Structure 1
Amino acid sequence: MQVVEKTRHINATFNGHGIPLIKEAILKAYPNAQIIEDENDDELLEEWKTTDVAKEIKARKTPGRILSIYRERSGLTLVQLAEIVGTKYTNLSAMENNRRTIGLAMAKKLGKALNVDYTKFLE
């Protein structure tokens, strides 16, 4: 069974007795929902990777933005993180603003300093 509410799709599979009760509860909570019982009826589904939302998220998920988020989460300033990894804060600033790429060696240092998998900083 698939439940469609506005443009958000929820895939759920139910087996056994009680399915009519589940349908009733869904329709009571979401009156405009469509319940599709045929598992092979995929024309209403859209591949996540092809959606505009997924493309927008991927476009904003740059190595620099990820570095900035993890640094802020750790409560470190650019200067503090630069001292830990052994570089200048201007280099880190350029990396966070995507003006400078994050190389493998720097990604490993950043990963260790921020306690995160270093591959998150590589494109």
Structure 2
Amino acid sequence: MKRDIEQELLDGFEAIKAGAGIPAIIINPDLETNPGGLYLRGIRYREDLTQDQLAAQTGIHRRHLSEMENGKRPIGKENAKKLAKVLNADYRLFL
């Protein structure tokens, strides 16, 4: 199904006027295509870790972490479990 971006924006503005806030998908369309990567980046920031620090603690190359965060590489179950252990999160968030 093709997205109607203009209608989504109008709906978002109407939601703001009604006091409902801005739908997250309007602010960050990557939520639809790369939720695991966005969770990875957000939780890494929450834990105040750089990609280099996270790489050292998980054994996952920094370049691979960057690609995962940007949706260019799948995270996979094994890496999700490594990340979850270090980031104090449920591994299923990254899948």
Q: TM-score range by the shorter chain?
A: 0.5 to 0.7
What are the within-5 Å matches in structure 2 for residues 1-123 of structure 1? Answer: 7-8=18-19, 53=23, 55-56=25-26, 59-61=29-31, 62-122=35-95
Max radius of gyration: which structure?
A: 1
**Unmatched runs of 5 consecutive residues or more in structure 2:** 1-16
Number of equivalences = 75
Select the structure that is richer in helix.
2
CA RMSD, 1 decimal: 2.1
Higher relative contact order, structure no. (Cα contacts within 8 Å, ≥ 6 residues apart): 2
1:81: how far off?
A: 0.3
Aligned counterparts of 1:87 and 1:54: Cα–Cα separation in 2 = 29
Give 3-state SS (helix, strand or coil) of 1:99's partner. coil
1:76: how far off?
A: 0.7
Q: TM-score, normalised by structure 1?
A: 0.53
Aligned counterparts of 2:90 and 2:28: Cα–Cα separation in 1 = 19
Aligned counterparts of 1:83 and 1:121: Cα–Cα separation in 2 = 19
Q: Which stretch of structure 1 is more off in the superposition, 54-63 or 86-95?
A: 54-63
Aligned counterparts of 1:88 and 1:79: Cα–Cα separation in 2 = 8
Give 3-state SS (helix, strand or coil) of 1:91's partner. helix
1:119: how far off?
A: 0.5
1:69: how far off?
A: 0.5
Give 3-state SS (helix, strand or coil) of 1:67's partner. helix
Tell me the alpha carbon deviations over residues 79-100 of structure 1, each in whole angstroms, 9 at most, x when there is no partner: 1101111121000000011111
Structure 1 runs (4+) deviating above 2 angstroms are 6-9, 52-61
**Unmatched runs of 5 consecutive residues or more in structure 1:** 1-5, 10-51
